[in-house]
Chain A
Amino acid sequence: MTNSVLDLEEADCILITGSNTTEQHPIIGTRILRAHEERGAKLIVADPRRIQMAIHADLWLRQRPGSDVAWLNGMMNIIINESLADEEFIANRTEGFEEVKEAVARYTPDVVERISGIPQEELRQAALMYGQAERAAIVYAMGITQHTSGVDHVKACANLAMITGNLGRAGTGVNPLRGQNNVQGACDMGALVNVYPGYQVVTNPEFTQKFEEAWGVTGCSDKVGLTVTEMIDAAERGEVKAMYIMGENPVLSDPDSNHVIEALQALDLLVVQDIFLTETAELADVVLPGCSYAEKDGTFTGTDRRVQLVRQAVPPIGDSKADWVIICELAQRMGARGFDYASPAQIMEEIASLTPIYAGVSYQRLEEQGFLQWPCRTAEDVGTPYLHEGQFTRGLGKMHVVEYQDPAEMPDDEYPFMLTTGRNMFHFHTGSMTRRSAKLEQESPEGYVEVNPEDAAELGVSDGEQVKLLSRRGEIQAKAWVTDRVPRGLVFAPFHYAEAAANVLTNPALDPQAKIPEYKVCAVRLEAA
């Protein structure tokens, strides 16, 4: 997030898109609703599904999945025409406005309505509401990013914030909500194919030299690595021979599960380190028992760049070991030097010494203050509640022209429905933890698919009956939840449930830049089971 969870409450207008906030980030959802109900902040929700937030909103735009560039450009078109653009901010802090202005001029309300299904008058109201607010915040999640045009969606959000001057102040910003407790931290720590910790790129020889010296090694690669989805493909082709997977479950979380299983089986060696025998661990040659968060010390970094302590409550279960201990022991066994740490606090000292945005983070400060928000560059730096105050990291904020493109797989005669996937309130990701939590499993014990009542009537399916979902990649069976949460032609399935795994159906088509798969749109056929 450019801003903090806390300062969402200072916004005069909050635009939520592609985030089912009350179910996926409930405590942030509560804060947004409080700003809306108690302070009168305007709430705009753009979501194809009638989620709870849509019911509370002043305005609910029901866009067609994947049409986000179109309606966001349309908002900008109206804002510019109504002279609501922040000319001073544009002139002093950004570049590329003229090109964007020219491009969005083509996204007139009638064009946008044709692409996105959003009525012209509603788009206009939304543009005025966002454009007139003194402080407006955009909040989004995977509904924006998990598309073949995901990067363009994000750029469109950033353009909208920039042309209205909604960056660098409390209550504004472009605020992605991270789905997992430590996705932010895993990115910050360089668990990414192209960067060392702190986003120091592997293709810059200066950074490579810095890390080689600190780690006492030579020969770090300057070649950007393979992303998850590319690793799977390379495994299938026999180019990747061995994989080491710590605490992830790609069999259920990656698109096109059948393909993932075949690829993992093609490996010569698969090592999985996890706390349960997940669907992925079942395919492994060696399984190492790691520890849950309750059995180790460490830090997590929340969605608003907030570094906080994780404290050990109980000893490791059985012969399991904390994951950091396993990595150190294995590395030492292989003859690697520099893996003899006494504690996670000592590891953090090394992180801080090599990662400028974490340079001021230490366990002692976290014990005393509870949290630190990066960038936190020195031991005196109090941290950064919101980014881009006065200046962007790169100097001027760059606006990028983005054009609407259809999702990779659109419905057709054979597969006439659009499927979109996600999570629900009770379960988390692939369910390895929540489905083993008695209360949560009791609340939501089985997979389901949301089907619009008129579609259900045509198919002859009633609420609670089993339906078959088929895509070009596979088929699953799940219980129908007949509900107007989804519009006609769209069905929604959560991906938590191994026995009705939505990712058997999804399309592994990737965004060309971010390599993110298009989980939010693929074409399916429904049949009564």
Chain B
Amino acid sequence: MEYRNVLTTCPYCGTGCALYLQVLDGSVVGTLPVKGHPISEGALCIKGWNAHGFIHHADRLTKPLIREQGQFREAGWDEAYNLIADRFSSFKSDFGPDSLAVLSSAKCTNEENYLLQKFTRAFLGTNNVDHCARL
């Protein structure tokens, strides 16, 4: 048995509470509050206490999916990347960069948001990048 606590930041609201994810043999099995954290001071709300609840859910997507004749089928990463790359490139050349639009995510990290807007602006060539700040 291997057990660790991993210090991280709550994935729910913007308060910014810290929490420990309890990791047992490679699975997240629970959440613990962090006493010394300036914001959460050893407390969590009910969502924070359950921040591990969905991580290993059976519904997690584990493979790329491609729609074929109305149905999803599993695909490899290469096939999925190639399909997206081909089609995005042809839309860009046929209809211009503003025919493409990207939604980034308030759930993803700063680094991921940075990269997605960089990809959209530097490579796709459009400012059609937004996220649900208003929603």
Contact = CB atoms under 8 A, between A and B. Distances in A.
A344 B114 CA distance: 11
A189 B18 CA distance: 22
A396 interface: no
A451 interface: no
A191 interface: yes
A298 interface: yes
B100 A241 contact: yes
A303 B14 CA distance: 5
B45 A26 contact: yes
Contacts of A433: 11-12, 53-54
A319 B40 CA distance: 34
Interface of A: 5-6, 24-28, 30, 145-146, 177-194, 196-197, 202, 211-212, 215, 217, 219-221, 223-229, 231, 234-235, 239-248, 250, 253-254, 268-269, 271, 274-277, 281, 284-290, 292-296, 298-304, 306-315, 317-324, 327-331, 333-334, 336, 338-339, 344, 347-348, 350-351, 370-371, 425-426, 428, 433-434, 436-440, 443, 514-517, 519
A341 B128 CA distance: 24
Contact of B123 (A217, A285, A309, A310): A217
Interface residues of B, number: 95
A244 B103 contact: yes
A287 B107 contact: no
A220 B125 contact: yes
B132 A250 contact: yes
Given A186-B133, A242-B87, A333-B85, 12 more contacts: A192-B130, A228-B135, A269-B91, A271-B84, A274-B61, A287-B64, A287-B72, A295-B55, A309-B9, A313-B21, A323-B112, A428-B13
Contacts of A5: 15-16, 39
Given A309-B9, A437-B50, A338 B14 contact: no
Contact of B110 (A180, A299, A434, A440): A299
Contacts of A146: 134
Contacts, number: 425
A181 B13 contact: yes
B64 A288 contact: yes
A451 B43 CA distance: 33
Contacts of A181: 9-14, 16, 106-107
21 contacts: A27-B44, A30-B43, A180-B132, A181-B14, A183-B14, A186-B113, A192-B130, A253-B135, A285-B67, A298-B110, A314-B26, A323-B112, A338-B122, A344-B111, A425-B47, A433-B53, A436-B57, A437-B50, A440-B46, A514-B134, A516-B135
B116 to A, nearest CB: 6
A269 to B, nearest CB: 5
State the main secondary structure of chain B at its contact with A: mixed
Q: Which 4 A-B pairs have the closest CB atoms?
A: A318-B62, A302-B16, A437-B53, A298-B109
B89 to A, nearest CB: 6
Given A225-B130, A434-B47, A215 B81 contact: no
A245 B104 CA distance: 6
Contact of A276 (B50, B60, B81, B82): B60
B123 A294 contact: no
A436 B51 CA distance: 11
Contact of B106 (A186, A190, A296, A311): A186
Contact of A327 (B55, B89, B106, B119): B119
Nearest to B53: A437
A4 B114 CA distance: 24
A308 B12 CA distance: 14
A228 B131 contact: yes
